[in-house]
Every structure is written in C-alpha cells, then in structure tokens.
Structure 1
Amino acid sequence: MKLLRYGPAGEELPGMLDREGRIRALRPIVSDIDEDVLSPEGRRFLAAVDVAQLPVVPGAPRLGPPLRRVREIIAIGLNYRDHALEADLPIPAEPLVFSKSTSSISGPNDDIVLAPESAQTDWEIELGIVIGSVASQLGQDDAMASVAGYCVVNDVSERHWQLQRNGQWGKGKSFDTYTPIGPWIVTPDELTNPQGLALTLSVNGQARQRGHTQDMIFSVAQIVSYCSQFMTLRPGDLIITGTPAGVGLGMKPPVYLAAGDVIDMAITGLGEQRHVVR
C-alpha cells in the first residue's frame, strides 16, 4: 500500500494511491494516517479494503507529510562509505545517531526556505523508516517486524550550524522545512527489500547524488535493532538512514543551495520529491 495525506498545510486528509496512480480518499474509514493505521492491525484492516470502492480525489491536490504526527526523527550519519570519504570523516564502526526536530517536517513538494543568513544549506536524499509497533532491545531477525513502511526524506542540512557552531549536528538540520517527507509511505508488503533501492538527486537538472541502499554500511535491520538497544522505538518514529556521496559539502569547492534552485529526487518504488529553494 501507498499511504499519503493530501490538502492544504495543516488540513491534510488521509488517502491511498491506487494502481493507476490516483489518490483515493480514506476518510471516513480512518481519521488520519496515524499510529493506529500504521500498526500491524491497522495495516491488515486497510489491506482488506476494496480500493476500487474508495472515492477518487479530483485534481492534483498538494501532498503533505504522509504521517500525521512524527514522534521523533532519529537520524543515522555517514552510513555510506563514499559519503564518509567525501566528508573526510572516519568510517563509523557502529551507527552514528543524532536527532532532528519534528518542527522541520514539510511536504514532499513544498518549498525549502533557507535558514536566516544561510550560505551553506545542503541536500541529502535518504531512505526513511517508519516505525509501526513498539520495539525494544530487538535482535536483527526480529527488527523488521516493527517497520510499518518506508518513505523518501530530504535531510536538508545547514553546514555552518551543523559543523561550526559546536554541539550536536541537529542544530544544522532542524530549521523549518528542512525535513521534507513523502510523497507517501510504502508498506512492507509492497516493498519487501529495502536494501535494493536506487537513490537519485539532481539540482537544477544536474545530477548530484546517485546511490543504492545495498551500499549502506548498516542495513535497515541493523539500524532498527541497534536503536532499539538504547531507546524504545514507538509507532510514529521516523528513522532516516544516511545519504550517499554527492552532497554539496563534498564538492571541490563546496556548492550550496541558493534561492531559485530546484531539487528533484527519487527512490525506487517510493516516489519523487521536487522542491524550489527560496
């Protein structure tokens, strides 16, 4: 299933994408795409629904973040060797974990608004993992059962705040609009191998990032298991799994986003995002 939310910001309604690419309305069957819907029981309920009987949403409405409330954003840094090398940082021996503020979340095609006086805002395409059930101290063999689905995420990063303002990386990654999510959540019954996905990102039509999740240092199962060792993961948590090489910071000289730039990005089977920078 591909679960989404559509409509004006703050007024989004729940929906599902059918096989023809049309949005089908899910209200009043469900109130929103929330923890209840993403639970194993909720997904089984929706899987039994006859999608053809749901109303087609007319036109091309704005798509919002596909989850009503993200509890917290858990981010994994330097999870592709080529990205660690371009950043001139050591290859992690275990997952490098940091957090982003949920206030940075925006829709998959919303504008990215540069942080005040930013001259070093960068792009990072990432695979997102949405947690659907409580996970605590799970082994790798059990970790995947807690995953409700996957999505495209842009881990937009203001490098000056991230690297030169002391403290944790989250300061450079938590500005408003710096975490676009979507266009939808794809459930594991439809996407069975998260380590078989191509990631692509371009800026103003020029290819910047070309990666593949098979090259992740730590797999989805390893990441979920690892995080569950020191924190209880709960429905609505979002884990973003790192970015491949090709970010602006790694270019020589570095190249960063400016007002008017257009970012296009996609992950196999998970859809596309497009953003105008302003």
Structure 2
Amino acid sequence: MSVKPEAASALFAGPFALATLSAPEGHAFPALVTPDAQVLDLRPALGDAGLTMRGLLDAWDAVAPRLAALAGDTVPGRRPLAEFRVHAPVEPRQVFQSGANYRQHVIDLHVAHRAPGDERPEAERREEAAQIMDRRAAEDLPYVFIGLPSAVTGPYDDVVLPAWAEKPDWELELAAVIGRPAHRVSVEEALEHVAGYTIANDLTDRATVFRRDMPQIGTDWLRSKNAPGFTPLGPWIVPTASIAAPDDLRLTLRLNGETMQDESTKDMIFDVARMVSYASQTARLLPGDLVLTGSPAGNGMHWGRLLRDGDVMDASITGLGAQRTRCVAEVAR
C-alpha cells in the first residue's frame, strides 16, 4: 500500500530518508524521500539503472555525500510519495536479533516469575532484579541470535498469522542498518559502521519459543520468529547523521488504537554500539544487514492479550516515522 497522506507532515527526522518503492505494476527501486513527501528515483540520479538499496549501502561511504547533495538540490523528476507502494527499505543478507535487552522489561519478567516459596514483598524482589540488571550491564554480554531475511515484509503489508501460531505477539524494536562491513570492531568504532536506523516489529509465537518435545534443547527461534512476514520493516532508513541520540528514542506500539508499548531506548541494557560490536566479534556484518536491539516492556504476554485476526498495529519510533500492519489469520485468507 502507499504511505498515508496524513502522515506526510512528520515522516522522519532530517533532510532525507531512503526507501524502497514501486509504482503500480512496476519494479521496486531505491528512492530518496524528502520531508515534504517527494520522491527521487536514485537509479537515474546516481547513474545506475540496476541499483538496489543493498547495492547503494554497499557503496555507502562514497554515496552518502551525494545523497545529502541531492536532497538539497532542486533536481527534476521528483514525484509525490503517495503515488508509490512502500516496501521494506532493504533486503538484508543477515538479521541479528537481540533478546532481554530492556531493563524494565526484564525486571518485570523477573518479578512475575518468582520461584516457588518466595514470599518476599514485590518491592524487595524488584530491587533484587534491578541489581541483577545493573550487574549484567556492567559485566555480561548481549544475547544475540539469528533471524531469517525471508521473514521481512513491508511496513504497511498485512501480517499473516499462521494457523499453527497459538500465541502470536508483537515486539517493537529499533533496528540499526549496517553501511560498512564490520568484523571484530570495538564499541568505540561500532557506530561508524551503521548507515542509519529503521523500525522493526519482531513478531514471536510465544507458544513455540521453547521446544515441548525436547525442553533440554532450549529456545526454537526458527519456529517462533521466522514465519513469512513476521518482521515488518521500515518505512525508511534514516541516516545516522539525522539521529543525534539513538540511545534516547521513544518507541510506541498501539494495538487497535490502545497503547501497549511506550518506552525510550535509554532503558536498553546494551546500547546500539555494544550490540553492533558484540555481533561483529563472531560474524562479519555486511552492508544492508540488520541489528535488532530488543523490545521494551508491554508485549502481549504482559497484557494477557495476543494478536488475532483483524488486529491493527501502529508502531513508531522518534525520528523514524511509523508503520501500520493489519493481522490476517491464515484460515481467513
């Protein structure tokens, strides 16, 4: 679907963002989008008829200054954003996902899942959990696992809830988009390898997170997180230069108009730089790859209300715009 006209006045922070768009019955192309909701096809602008978003990110260091210049010029050929369909902004080669990375969220889980016989007051157990989180931030490592690119879908596409998914849940997350290969980079160097940021909703079927047939194996992220369309992404990649403080952005998710998640990235236990650095210690991060940074408190399990047919999720992050996705049960489809 095309972007909603009423959202055009507050699309994103900064002078431009990047999107992958298509005209009706046309091929998808990388585009520069301006805050007044105008679109410039980057293929003719950069002289590459076969250019994709991932190809653009492969050449990020050379291309970024040219994009900034294009955003400020009155280049002919701009068209209204409303004429186009908005896709996921990039097709990543790798998706790195994080769990248990929001302090308040993990504290709530610790308090909710007290050990049998633990009759201590909630305030005491909450203080204990807070101390554990502070120690974890100082001494421990992030928890990162791998997602599938095939789960990525557009920011306004319907999300099909598989018939087998008993407890589908939402998880709004800030996603860093890699713009320069990163392998074994330090925390201090990590953000130099990030081209920009976008919005991800990392859906999870809670019923299949843990294997029932072999509980000793532990988590099953393939089954619980990687159904087609389980990672709505976008709408834009907003360059790092336009996001002054990635560690102080507001994440808000509304379900059918009711606020479910509303938290700042300040609550992250491990910030973006530590997440990117940590993932790079094992893997080689490539341009276009995504590093998802975890989800704050307010998931469906917290509210006792999971996703079902007809639900509409509105997700936004400061400076990165907003996405809207409708849930469609597989049986209904």
Q: Structure 2-normalised TM-score?
A: 0.78
The residue that corresponds to 2:275 in the other structure is 223
The residue that corresponds to 1:44 in the other structure is 65
Given that residues 57 and 287 in structure 2 are in contact (C-alpha distance below 8 angstroms), is that contact kept between their aligned partners in structure 1?
Answer: no
Deviations 1:130-173 (A, max 9, x none): 01111111111111110011000000111112234554324211
Instruction: Tell me the secondary structure at the aligned position of residue 40 of structure 2.
Output: strand
Instruction: Tell me the secondary structure at the aligned position of residue 85 of structure 2.
Output: coil
Offset, 1:13: 1.6
Structure 2 alignment gaps of length 5 or more? 1-15, 114-131, 213-217, 329-333
Distance 1:155 1:233 in 2: 20
Offset, 1:26: 1.9
Given that residues 18 and 51 in structure 1 are in contact (C-alpha distance below 8 angstroms), is that contact kept between their aligned partners in structure 2?
Answer: no
Q: 1:261 to 1:66 in 2, by over 3 A?
A: same
The residue that corresponds to 1:72 in the other structure is 94
Letter in 2 for 1:272: A
Instruction: Tell me the secondary structure at the aligned position of residue 46 of structure 1.
Output: helix
2:210 to 135, 153, 163: 163
The residue that corresponds to 2:20 in the other structure is 5
The residue that corresponds to 1:122 in the other structure is 169
Instruction: Tell me the secondary structure at the aligned position of residue 52 of structure 1.
Output: coil
Larger deviation, residues 34-43 vs 101-110: 34-43
Q: How does 1:1-278 map to 2 (within 5 A)?
A: 1-7=16-22, 11-30=27-46, 31-37=51-57, 39-49=60-70, 50-58=72-80, 59-67=82-90, 69-88=91-110, 91=133, 93-165=140-212, 166-251=218-303, 254-278=304-328
Letter in 2 for 1:148: A
Distance 1:110 1:71 in 2: 21
Structure 1 alignment gaps of length 5 or more? none
Q: What is the number of residues matched between the two proteins?
A: 275
Q: 1:33 to 1:249 in 2, by over 3 A?
A: same
Structure 1 or 2: more helix by fraction: 2
Distance 1:105 1:10 in 2: 20
Letter in 1 for 2:323: Q
Offset, 1:116: 2.2
**Highest CA radius of gyration, 1 or 2?**
2
Offset, 1:192: 2.4
Q: Structure 1-normalised TM-score?
A: 0.92
Offset, 1:46: 1.8
Distance 1:53 1:12 in 2: 21
Deviations 1:239-269 (A, max 9, x none): 0000100000122xx2100000010010000
Deviations 1:163-186 (A, max 9, x none): 345543242110000001100000
Distance 2:315 2:21 in 1: 20
Offset, 1:115: 1.6
Letter in 1 for 2:95: I
Given that residues 159 and 172 in structure 1 are in contact (C-alpha distance below 8 angstroms), is that contact kept between their aligned partners in structure 2?
Answer: yes
Instruction: Tell me the secondary structure at the aligned position of residue 119 of structure 1.
Output: coil
Distance 1:170 1:214 in 2: 29
Offset, 1:10: 8.8
